[in-house]
């Protein structure tokens, strides 16, 4: 039984660790978050798509162990790095989690071990940042270990596309690294797609989510136009979607959220700037996306006039419907903008429950305005009584 260490047990690392454990590997899951580790040890899942019973099962079979640090006494042959790569306060790539994880893996690396990075990075990061750190802290030359990049493709809440059936890109720093990585993933992923170089795989991941940012920002801008001329954007989208080729529907919102779409394109913009290229379209799309809270402030003014001291209920604060994931949620910007206008802002989300030190407000009447930000399917709008409703998913 090969031993695998998965560093980072979030939305990517935990499903991967469990799938590996279920497919015959002995897995050690590592995360610096003590609450996550304590929950997992008690068999409690903190992800909606993983049940408590699944956690308890792999723990009982002793195919998964979890801890806050990599233990030298439990040496693995394979290391997966699945840590966050967010943006810094000044909206630049923050590789601190990746660098720290890489250093810890390097300290435990042995001759013949395989390191796979799943964290999203800009082109050149695996070769120019991860590799030197592994060599430095392992005191091994690259010829003595294997290195690969296989970007995650996790969509929380998507019941159709799960870890095992989403095609997975795989690249290696050399052919032997690629072969070993393919051998590892074949145990629990159905469709592996070989990519010719690390840099192609790195760039492909950024392209996937830049494509989505561009199209979502465009549809949001078109929704503003449709509002101005008095037609419903969703009717326009439905009509255009009848075309059987060359069109893919995207839908309006208060802005893009989640761990990928608002972040990954900025990694691509940053990488392009380093070589003197200005990716103007991504810059404009990012600007449109971040300006949407102000647009909805204007819509709120149109609906109820001055917002000062008005009681406004925001419905749904997660970044997309029917999940509790609040990472990079665009709703945060909307609430901040409403408070800046002097509104008394409350929010309701029975999936999130607690957010930014506040608790979800029950659905009910007595508000001056309700704004549907994230339309969870459970929402019963009848409970709002005669409260005016502004639906961010519609243009009118």
Query: Active-site residues: which are they?
Result: 260
C-alpha to C-alpha distance for 388 and 386, rounded to whole angstroms: 6
CA nearest to 234, candidates 391, 372, 394, 375: 394
SS (H, E, C) 156-200: CCCCCCCCCCCCEEEEECCHHHHHHHHHHHCCCCCCEEECCCHHH
CA nearest to 391, candidates 367, 365, 369: 369
Q: 89 CB contacts (<8 Å, ≥6 apart)? A: none
Q: On the CB side of 92, how many CA atoms lie within 13 Å of its CA?
A: 5
C-alpha to C-alpha distance for 59 and 40, rounded to whole angstroms: 9
Using an 8 Å Cβ cutoff, are 329 and 319 in contact? Answer: yes
C-alpha to C-alpha distance for 280 and 309, rounded to whole angstroms: 40
CA nearest to 77, candidates 3, 146, 27, 130: 3
């Amino acid at each position: 039984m090969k031993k695998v260490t998965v560093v980072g047990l979030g939305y990517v690392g935990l499903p991967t660790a469990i799938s590996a454990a279920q497919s015959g590997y002995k897995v050690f899951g590592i995360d610096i978050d003590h609450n996550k580790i304590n929950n997992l040890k008690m068999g409690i899942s903190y992800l909606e798509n993983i049940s408590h019973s699944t956690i308890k099962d792999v723990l009982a079979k002793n195919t998964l162990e979890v801890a806050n640090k990599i233990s030298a006494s439990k040496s693995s042959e394979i290391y997966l790095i699945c840590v966050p790569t967010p943006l810094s306060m000044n909206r630049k790539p923050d590789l601190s989690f990746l660098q720290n994880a890489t250093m810890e893996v390097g300290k435990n690396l042995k001759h013949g071990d395989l390191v796979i990075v799943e964290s999203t990075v800009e082109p050149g990061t695996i070769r120019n940042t991860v590799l030197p750190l592994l060599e430095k802290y392992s005191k091994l030359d690259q010829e003595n270990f294997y290195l690969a990049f296989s970007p995650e493709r996790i969509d929380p809440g998507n019941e159709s596309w799960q870890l095992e059936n989403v095609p997975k890109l795989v690249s290696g720093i050399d052919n032997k690294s690629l072969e070993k990585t393919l051998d590892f993933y074949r145990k629990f992923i159905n469709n592996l797609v070989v990519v010719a170089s690390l840099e192609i795989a790195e760039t492909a991941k950024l392209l996937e989510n830049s494509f989505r940012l561009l199209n979502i920002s465009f549809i949001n801008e078109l929704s503003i136009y449709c509002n101005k001329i008095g037609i419903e954007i969703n009717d326009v989208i439905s009509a255009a979607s009848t075309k059987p080729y060359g069109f893919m529907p995207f839908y309006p919102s208060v802005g893009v959220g989640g761990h990928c779409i608002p972040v990954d394109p900025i990694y691509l913009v940053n990488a392009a700037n380093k070589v003197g290229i200005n990716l103007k379209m991504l810059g404009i799309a990012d600007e449109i996306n971040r300006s949407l809270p102000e647009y909805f402030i204007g819509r709120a003014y149109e609906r109820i006039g001055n917002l000062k001291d008005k009681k406004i209920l925001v419905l749904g604060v997660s970044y997309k419907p029917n999940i509790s994931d609040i990472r990079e949620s665009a709703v945060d910007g909307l609430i901040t903008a409403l408070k800046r206008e002097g509104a008394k802002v409350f929010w309701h989300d029975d999936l999130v429950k607690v957010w930014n030190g506040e608790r979800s407000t029950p659905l009910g009447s007595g508000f001056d305005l309700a704004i549907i930000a994230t339309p969870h399917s459970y929402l019963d709008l009848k409970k709002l009584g005669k409260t005016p409703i502004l639906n961010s998913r519609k243009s009118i």
